[in-house]
Amino acid sequence: MCQVGENYGEPATEESQPAPRPGLDKTPVLDCKEGLPVVVIRAGDAFCSRDCFKAFYTHKFRAMLGKNRLIFPGEKVLLAWSGGPSSSSMVWQVLEGLSQDSAKRLRFVPGVIFVDEGAACGQSPEDRAKTLAEVKLILQTVGFPWYLVALEEVFGLPPAVLRCSAQEPAGTAGAYKAAVDSFLQQQHTPGTEGAEDSPSLAQQQGQLCQPPPQGPMGLQSPTGPPAAAQTEALSRLFHSVKTLTAKEELLQTLRTHLILHVARAHGYSKVMTGESCTRLAIKLMTNLALGRGAFLAWDTGFSDERHGDVVVVRPMRDHTLKEVAFYNHLFAVPSVFTPAIDTKAPEKASIHRLMEAFLLRLQTQFPSTVSTVYRTSEKLAKAPRDSHDTAHSEPRCLLCLCTLDVDGADSATAFGAQTSSHLSQMQPHTALAEAGMHPVPCCPPEVGSAQGCCRGPCERGDPRVCVLEWLCYGCRVNMKDLPSLDSLPPYILAEAQLRRQRAWVLQEVQEYLIADSDGEAETA
Amino acid sequence: MAAPLSVEVEFGGGAELLFDGVKKHQVTLPGQEEPWDIRNLLVWIKKNLLKERPELFIQGDSVRPGILVLINDADWELLGELDYQLQDQDTILFISTLHGG
């Protein structure tokens, strides 16, 4: 496996024998005869010298992109960069991939987004400013268009973020081939073969180095720190969450919505996240424990099409964190350390931490643990998107945007019973509606269509019920740790209300439709 | 009797937070009866460098799972892990790969 990259120079003449560990008889690196062994990659059966580790690492990244054929040439791809090791490594891989010779060059058009989560993690304004300065410095070095977004901006998001676009994500094998061909043709039409290559490269790079058209800040807000009121609201929201588990989930949800919004606003059709194999194995186990088993394939797979028009891709999913850390150290990949929400938290503070500690400890004794869990995630298959109007036919969770896995009439499980009793206690109307009994509207339908009093079963009741009924099982459980849903960003509440209103109208219409067809059946 | 050693101990990936945010420590290990190995070094670090929450860095007699150890830029698994005998001017780097450092 040290032969993965074909051209890493002439083999050196002198053989530098490493002192092999007891039990390490087969050392593939010796075939490579180059440099000193540096890292044991997996289960003690392989270790690589510096150069061939680099070739191996880069090959893995490109193979992951190549074999999945999801990223089309010329496509705009947003790299979600947190400053951490894996996503930094990802950005660097893309940077290197774009500067390689023409045959191997990556052909998509990248942009980078950094979400400043300082307010949620309780960082002081000074620390945040310091982090941002570091971040900007690195972003300028990278030279891709970049978007620096504060998490506070979730308070300005439109409810439309939560709607799944009906647009089918482009991407069948045939379409990919056609796209590559047309891209190559486009490239080859101007100029002659030999001379054409370098100007086009320069042109492309020039284009990449341009600042984004709307300046560095991604959203509508002008440059500068977010409004103090929003920072306040955000930290209040996070302070009110009772458990670290729910905090982490909430943070992840809000971050995803924000990235999604920026991607849509700037025409990016793919988002790359830097989740490593180790991280994904931990995520798989964590999500199982969180009751998100139904969505494992989306949450941990290579591509995640749940948003419709914007596909999340995880190109680092073959790299273990150990490889990433070594690569970043050996090749001086810059990264920014920002304290996360769980920094210095004890091991049992959240399900996430507990799972991490559990898997990593197991990994030290059984070195195949992470890869076994990860391979399992690879085998999970997604239910196909059935029709074009998925967005309309299937309700989606307000927070994770997955298809709702909660059956309204689910009384077979303890949870189903619990939620339905909870809902009916809080809101008699909902229970009635769920049971198929139509409640008497408080005003005639003509009057109460859009703005009238029928709009507000929510307003009269608890917004909690209104939001909860649009959540999947896992998100419902998490929201139990949030005493008041009022502090959620307005777009979530607005969308919940809108959906309830729509469901209301739909039900009304359906009643007439059924009556109609019954009548027809009778006459026929 | 091992002579005193001068080594560089570095922390990264967030592990430095447990050491007052200082990444590089140039330390001199005093001479002692038995030779200095990583096992002893960890005990010494716990006593002399570690500022808070030792359980987040050391578990049992080794580092916490998820913290990588590099000795002179090479994986400690190649060098005998806890039994590696320190040489003068060695660089020992601890990188946390744990979420949140």
* Domains in chain A: ranges and CATH: 50-165+216-379 (3.40.50.620)
pLDDT tier for residue A107 given thresholds of 50, 70 and 90 = confident
Distance from CA of B66 to the nearest CA of A (A): 6
Q: Do B55 and A346 touch (CB under 8 A)?
A: yes
From chain A, pick out residues whose CB is under 8 angstroms from the CB of B17.
339, 343-344
Q: Do B99 and A340 touch (CB under 8 A)?
A: yes
Tell me: pLDDT of A256 over 70: yes
pLDDT in tens, A88-103: 999 999 998 888 765 6
Please state, in angstroms and as integers, the Cα–Cα distance from residue A238 to each residue in A117, A247, A249, A368, A464, following that order.
11, 6, 11, 37, 17
Distance from CA of A340 to the nearest CA of B (A): 5
**What does pLDDT average to in each consecutive run of 10 residues of chain B (101 residues)?**
86 91 91 89 92 89 92 87 91 91 71
Q: What is the mean pLDDT of residues A254-266?
A: 93
CB proximity A315 to B under 8 Å = no
Residues 20-49 of B with CB under 8 A from A: none
> A192 versus A84: which is more confidently predicted?
A84
Q: What is the mean pLDDT of chain A?
A: 75
| Cα end-to-end distance, chain A, whole Å | 72
Residue A106 is predicted with a pLDDT of 86
As a whole number of angstroms, the distance between CA A337 and CA A334 comes to 10
As a whole number of angstroms, the distance between CA A52 and CA A27 comes to 14
CB-nearest partner of A344 from B53, B68, B74: B53
Q: Which two tokens mark A346?
A: 């004890």
From chain A, pick out residues whose CB is under 8 angstroms from the CB of B50.
none
Q: Do B97 and A85 touch (CB under 8 A)?
A: yes
As a whole number of angstroms, the distance between CA B63 and CA B70 comes to 12
Question: pTM for this one?
Answer: 0.79
Delineate the domains of chain B, giving CATH numbers in brackets: 5-96 (3.10.20.30)
Tell me: pLDDT of A477 over 80: yes
Q: Do A85 and B78 touch (CB under 8 A)?
A: no
Q: What residue of B is the nearest CA neighbor of A336?
A: B13
Q: Percentage of chain A surpassing pLDDT 70?
A: 66
Residue A214 is predicted with a pLDDT of 40
Q: What is the mean pLDDT of residues A484-498?
A: 89
pLDDT in tens, A264-295: 999 999 999 999 999 999 999 999 999 998 89
Q: What residue of B is the nearest CA neighbor of A358?
A: B65
Residue A212 is predicted with a pLDDT of 42
DSSP structure class, residue A151: G
For residue A343, give the nearest of A123, A129, A126 by alpha carbon. A123
CB proximity A117 to B under 8 Å = no
Distance from CA of B59 to the nearest CA of A (A): 10
Q: Do B77 and A322 touch (CB under 8 A)?
A: no
Residue B81 is predicted with a pLDDT of 87
Residue A404 is predicted with a pLDDT of 81
Torsion of Cα atoms, B69 then B71 then B74 then B75, to 10°: -30
Residue A123 is predicted with a pLDDT of 86
Tell me: pLDDT of A431 over 90: no
CB pairs under 8 A between A and B: 88
CB proximity A366 to B under 8 Å = no
DSSP structure class, residue A312: E
Q: Angle, to 10 degrees, between the axis of helix A85-99 and the axis of helix A193-209?
A: 150
Residue A439 is predicted with a pLDDT of 42
pLDDT tier for residue A6 given thresholds of 50, 70 and 90 = very low
Distance from CA of A249 to the nearest CA of B (A): 14
Q: What residue of B is the nearest CA neighbor of A320?
A: B97
CB proximity B98 to A under 8 Å = yes
Which ipTM did the prediction report?
A: 0.93
Secondary structure of A349-375 as H, E, C letters: CCHHHHHHHHHHHHHHHCCCHHHHHHH
Q: Do B13 and A325 touch (CB under 8 A)?
A: yes
CB-nearest partner of A21 from B12, B80, B97: B80
For residue B34, give the nearest of B78, B86, B70, B81 by alpha carbon. B86
CB proximity A39 to B under 8 Å = yes
The b/e string for A126-163 (b: 16+ C-beta within 10 A; e otherwise) is eebeebbebbeebbeebebbbbbbbbbbbbbbebebbb
Q: Do B75 and A18 touch (CB under 8 A)?
A: no
Q: What residue of B is the nearest CA neighbor of A361?
A: B65
Tell me: pLDDT of A451 over 70: no
Tell me: pLDDT of A29 over 60: no
Q: What residue of B is the nearest CA neighbor of A46?
A: B78
CB proximity B77 to A under 8 Å = yes
Q: What is the mean pLDDT of residues A25-40?
A: 56
Q: Do B73 and A329 touch (CB under 8 A)?
A: yes
Distance from CA of A44 to the nearest CA of B (A): 8
Residue A307 is predicted with a pLDDT of 87
Best of B56, B59, B61, B77 to disrupt the A interface (most A CBs within 10 Å) is: B77
Q: What is the mean pLDDT of residues A506-512?
A: 83
Residues 281-310 of A with CB under 8 A from B: 282
The identity of residue A49, as a single letter, is S
Tell me: pLDDT of A226 over 60: yes
Tell me: pLDDT of A343 over 50: yes
Residue A413 is predicted with a pLDDT of 54
Q: Do A343 and B14 touch (CB under 8 A)?
A: yes
Q: Do B97 and A321 touch (CB under 8 A)?
A: yes
> A281 versus A189: which is more confidently predicted?
A281
CB proximity A324 to B under 8 Å = yes
Tell me: pLDDT of A221 over 60: no
> A416 versus A387: which is more confidently predicted?
A416
Q: Do A329 and B17 touch (CB under 8 A)?
A: no
The b/e string for A426-450 (b: 16+ C-beta within 10 A; e otherwise) is bbebbbebeeeeeeeeeeeeeebee
Tell me: pLDDT of A22 over 70: no
Q: In what order do the strands lie in the sheet with B5-12?
A: B24-29, B5-12, B91-96, B67-71, B74-75
Distance from CA of A135 to the nearest CA of B (A): 16
CB proximity B54 to A under 8 Å = no
Q: Do A329 and B77 touch (CB under 8 A)?
A: no
